[in-house]
């Protein structure tokens, strides 16, 4: 049983993330548009005041020009401006412009103006303050700045400017109201987006998990569709591949049962039959009959050994024990094992080599490879009953090939012959019984050695199975 973990669905996660994003965005916008708007506006106003100061001080000795500058700046910056020349008795106004009829600086009396000028001098040149002004019954915040400076003619001047922050406060209040609505609309939008997105993402996943459940039940025709997204398509491809491999494996397993039971039954029937004959018919307990029983028992144990070998190689419990050995001599030893068989069955096995060579490998395993390849070649070779083993040294590689003149293998079968239990025609022809495991043992051993291997085959002409190992020249062997 699979464990079901309680985790929140993708739509809720998406909704959570989108809502968080919306809230963060709104906070940033609110901070700049609402909380800091007055500050930004005020500081830009003060910048404008400073520019006005500079322009005015520059032309302060030219009354006509001064009045024009004051008037222009007053319109440009929407502020009231008064310019005073400081004399010993009191400040004398030399220019002014009124953008707003209710401004505080124009309604200030002489004393208030004198005090403002003094404060500007005391504060080292300029003085800014924010104060509330009552206009038509409502309070308005205004910024007043008094700047003192020495003019172009050497006299002291003070520029007083005033600008209201009123329109901004109204904007801020409107924005604050709107923010509530914007927040609700965006969160609703986030919810809808999350539902739509999660449907788009989840739909292919749900379909795939349905197919996966079918696959788990052994329905290998289950198909996976990605739904048009690269990641989902890749997952679907991987699952389709897994499904096809599982189907292939399942077929091979079924064939195994058929093959193995066939392979086990034949010798068992023989053993039983001969045993019964020897028991029931006097004079049949001959050495020949006993030999049949012994041969069949050998076939059985060969089959069992092959299965064990393959499972060990595949499980990785049988690792190559690397040693340096004489490959040429070892192949010669394999050929000796076939001597009796070839004599009796009139087969000919020839061994061609250009030199003797040593290799670093697991001797027993490599001999098993050669043995399995020769067994197959004897099984499948043509009517001339000949098999050739060749050993060619090229550079630092030695290639061992086993060639027969038999049926050959169709190109479409070649990729599969290395699979477990794969048989091209499913029938054994000769006495050298195969278990359907031979080539997968060869493949397992050669891959565990990191050796290259392959087969070249032409239908009706024969096959050459080959593998390559690293050659070792130690110079001490006999040619
Ligand atoms: P088997 O016991 O059936 O020979 P193997 O794993 O050794 O099992 O070989 C797998 C299949 O590859 C064989 O059933 C046969 O169809 C094909 N095959 C192997 N060697 C040869 C060969 N020398 N010539 C033709 N077909 C071969």
Residues having CB within 6 Å of any atom of ligand 1: 376-377, 379-380, 404, 406-407, 409, 417, 422-424, 434-440, 463
pLDDT tens per residue across span 141-181: 788 888 988 877 778 889 999 988 755 667 777 877 888 88
Residue 363 alpha carbon to ligand 1 centre in Å? 23
**Rounded (5°) CA angle 97-102-105:** 55
CB 69 within 8 A of CB 55: yes
Residue 404 alpha carbon to ligand 1 centre in Å? 12
**Rounded (5°) CA angle 189-192-197:** 120
Q: What is the pLDDT of residue 476?
A: 47
Closest CA to 329 of 355, 350, 356: 356
Kindly tell me the burial class for residue 358, based on how many C-beta atoms sit within 10 Å of its own C-beta (0-12, 13-18, 19 or more). Answer: buried
pLDDT of 430 above 70: no
Q: What is the pLDDT of residue 432?
A: 46
Q: What is the band of 479 on the pLDDT scale with cuts at 50, 70, 90? A: very low
pLDDT of 137 above 70: no
Token duo for residue 249: 């494996």
Q: What is the pLDDT of residue 161?
A: 92
The preferred substitution site among 252, 303, 408, 417 for testing ligand 1, maximizing ligand atoms within 8 Å of CB, is: 417
Q: What is the pLDDT of residue 276?
A: 92
7 or 257, greater pLDDT: 257
pLDDT tens per residue across span 188-209: 888 888 888 888 888 888 889 9
Minimum-distance ligand 1 atom for the alpha carbon of 404:
23
DSSP three-state, residue 25: helix
Most confident of the ranges 11-20, 216-225, 259-268: 216-225
Average pLDDT over residues 284-312: 84
Q: Which residue has the tokens 């010669």?
A: 332
Contacts of 297 (CB under 8 A, 6+ apart): 267, 271
pLDDT of 454 above 90: yes
Q: 230-280 vs 166-216: helix axis angle to the nearest 10?
A: 10
pLDDT of 318 above 90: no
Token duo for residue 175: 């924005």
Residue 269 alpha carbon to ligand 1 centre in Å? 24
Q: What is the pLDDT of residue 136?
A: 65
Model confidence pTM above 0.85: no
Half-sphere exposure of 53 (CA within 13 A, CB side): 24
Q: Which residue has the tokens 């609402």?
A: 34
- Sequential DSSP letters for 153-204: TS-EEEEEEEEE-HHHHHHHHHHHHHHHHHHHHHHHHHHHHHHHHHHHHHHH
Kindly tell me the burial class for residue 297, based on how many C-beta atoms sit within 10 Å of its own C-beta (0-12, 13-18, 19 or more). Answer: middle
Phi, psi at 227, each rounded to 5°: 80, 20
pLDDT of 219 above 80: yes
DSSP three-state, residue 125: coil
The alpha carbon of residue 216 and the mean position of all alpha carbons in its chain are separated, in whole angstroms, by: 25
User: CA 456, CA 375: separation in Å to the nearest integer?
Assistant: 17
CB 389 within 8 A of CB 337: no
Nearest CA to ligand 1 atom 14: 423
Percent of residues, the chain, with pLDDT higher than 90: 29
pLDDT of 41 above 90: no
- Sequential DSSP letters for 204-266: HHHHHHHHHHHHHTT-TT-----TT-HHHHHHHHHHHHHHHHHHHHHHHHHHHHHHHHHHHHH
CB 255 within 8 A of CB 424: no
Q: What is the pLDDT of residue 259?
A: 67
Residue 369 alpha carbon to ligand 1 centre in Å? 13
Residue 377 alpha carbon to ligand 1 centre in Å? 8
Q: What is the pLDDT of residue 398?
A: 94
Minimum-distance ligand 1 atom for the alpha carbon of 462:
24
pLDDT of 323 above 60: yes
Q: What is the pLDDT of residue 258?
A: 73
Contacts of 65 (CB under 8 A, 6+ apart): 59
Q: What is the band of 420 on the pLDDT scale with cuts at 50, 70, 90? A: low
Closest CA to 401 of 432, 376, 436, 438: 376
pLDDT tens per residue across span 92-135: 999 999 887 788 888 888 899 999 998 998 988 889 888 887 76
pLDDT of 248 above 50: yes
Nearest CA to ligand 1 atom 25: 408
User: CA 264, CA 326: separation in Å to the nearest integer?
Assistant: 36
Nearest CA to ligand 1 atom 16: 424
User: CA 309, CA 329: separation in Å to the nearest integer?
Assistant: 24
Q: What is the CA radius of gyration of the chain?
A: 50
In what helix (H) or strand (E) does residue 354 lie, and over which residues does it extend?
Answer: none
Minimum-distance ligand 1 atom for the alpha carbon of 406:
24
pLDDT tens per residue across span 373-397: 998 898 888 888 899 999 999 888 9
> How many of the other CB atoms lie within 10 Å of CB of 53?
24
DSSP three-state, residue 76: helix
Query: Mean pLDDT across the chain, nearest whole number?
Result: 84
pLDDT of 86 above 50: yes
Q: What is the pLDDT of residue 433?
A: 52
Q: What is the pLDDT of residue 431?
A: 45
Closest CA to 435 of 201, 251, 314, 261: 261
Minimum-distance ligand 1 atom for the alpha carbon of 407:
25
CB 356 within 8 A of CB 328: yes
């Amino acid at each position: 049983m699979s464990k079901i973990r309680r985790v929140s669905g993708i739509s809720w996660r998406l909704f959570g993330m989108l809502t968080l994003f919306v809230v963060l965005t709104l906070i940033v916008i609110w901070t700049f548009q609402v909380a800091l708007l007055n500050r930004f506006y005020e500081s830009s106003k003060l910048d404008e005041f400073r520019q006005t100061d500079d322009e005015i001080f520059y032309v302060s000795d030219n009354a006509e020009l001064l009045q024009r500058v004051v008037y222009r700046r007053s319109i440009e910056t929407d502020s009231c401006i008064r310019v005073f020349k400081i004399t010993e008795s009191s400040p004398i106004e030399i220019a002014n412009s009124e953008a707003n009829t209710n401004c505080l600086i124009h309604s200030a009396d002489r004393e208030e103006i004198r005090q403002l000028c003094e404060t500007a001098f005391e504060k080292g040149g300029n003085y800014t303050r924010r104060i509330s002004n009552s206009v038509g019954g409502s309070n308005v915040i205004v910024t007043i700045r008094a700047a003192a400076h020495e003019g172009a003619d050497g006299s002291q001047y003070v520029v007083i400017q005033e600008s209201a922050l009123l329109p901004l406060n109204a904007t801020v209040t409107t924005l604050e109201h709107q923010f509530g609505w914007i927040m609700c609309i965006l969160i609703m939008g986030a919810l809808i987006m999350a539902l739509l997105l999660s449907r788009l993402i989840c739909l292919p996943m749900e379909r795939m998990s349905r197919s996966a459940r079918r696959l788990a039940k052994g329905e290998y025709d289950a198909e996976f569709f990605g739904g048009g997204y690269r990641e989902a398509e890749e997952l679907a491809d991987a699952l389709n591949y897994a499904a096809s491999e599982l189907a292939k494996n399942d077929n091979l397993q079924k064939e195994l049962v058929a093959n193995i039971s066939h392979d086990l039954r034949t010798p068992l029937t023989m053993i039983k039959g001969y045993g019964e004959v020897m028991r029931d018919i006097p004079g049949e307990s001959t050495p020949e009959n006993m030999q049949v029983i012994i041969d069949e028992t050998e076939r059985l144990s060969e089959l069992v050994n092959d299965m064990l070998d393959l499972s060990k190689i595949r499980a990785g419990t049988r690792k190559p024990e690397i040693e340096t050995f004489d490959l040429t001599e070892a192949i010669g030893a394999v050929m000796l094992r076939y001597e009796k068989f070839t004599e009796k069955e009139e087969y000919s096995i020839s061994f061609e080599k250009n030199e003797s060579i040593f290799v670093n490998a697991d001797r027993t395993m490599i001999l098993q490879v050669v043995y399995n390849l020769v067994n197959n070649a004897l099984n499948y070779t043509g009517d001339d009953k000949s098999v050739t083993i060749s050993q060619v040294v090229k550079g630092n590689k030695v290639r061992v090939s086993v060639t027969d003149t038999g049926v050959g293998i169709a190109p479409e079968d070649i990729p599969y012959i290395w699979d477990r239990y794969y048989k091209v025609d499913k029938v054994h022809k000769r006495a050298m019984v195969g278990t359907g495991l031979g080539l997968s043992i060869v493949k397992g051993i050669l891959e565990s050695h990191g050796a290259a291997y392959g087969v070249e085959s032409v239908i009706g002409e024969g096959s050459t199975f080959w593998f390559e190992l690293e050659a070792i020249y130690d110079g001490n062997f006999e040619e």
